[in-house]
Amino acid sequence: MFPAILDQVRRIPRGKVATYGDVAEASGHPGCARQVVWALRTAEGLPWHRVLGAKGHIRLPGEAALEQILRLRMEGVEISNKRVDLALYRHKFRPDKQPNP
């Protein structure tokens, strides 16, 4: 499960975001948003800051939230009241193309 989740996180481009639920669904595990959080805690070198809570809310506490905000702003993402406008910045995952048998 975690490799599929982390693969989807790697697909989120600079200046775009996705929710934990978006990542879970794109990885083939709908309803597993909490597992996305756990997967992100195990990995290094991923654009973790591009993954947000439901409705675009920054859910991390304290300094981690400040770092996430800073990283997103450096990518051109606007944030207001710890929330990103998903209508503007949401990444739309495309399904993997499956080879024809």
The position carrying tokens 């409705």 is 55
In a domain, 78, yes or no: yes
Spatial neighbors of 18 by CB under 8 A, at least 6 apart, are 8, 9, 12, 26, 50, 51, 52, 90, 91, 93
The position carrying tokens 């439901």 is 54
Domain count for the chain, please give it.
1
**Per-residue confidence in pLDDT tens, the chain, 101 aa:** 999 999 999 999 999 999 999 999 999 999 999 999 999 999 899 999 999 999 999 999 999 999 999 999 999 999 999 999 999 999 999 876 544 44
Range of the domain at 11: 2-89
In a domain, 96, yes or no: no
Can you name the residues that pair with 19 across neighbouring β-strands?
A: 52
> What sign has the CA pseudo-torsion 36, 30, 52, 91?
positive
pTM beyond 0.85: the answer is yes
In a domain, 48, yes or no: yes
CATH number at residue 35: 1.10.10.10
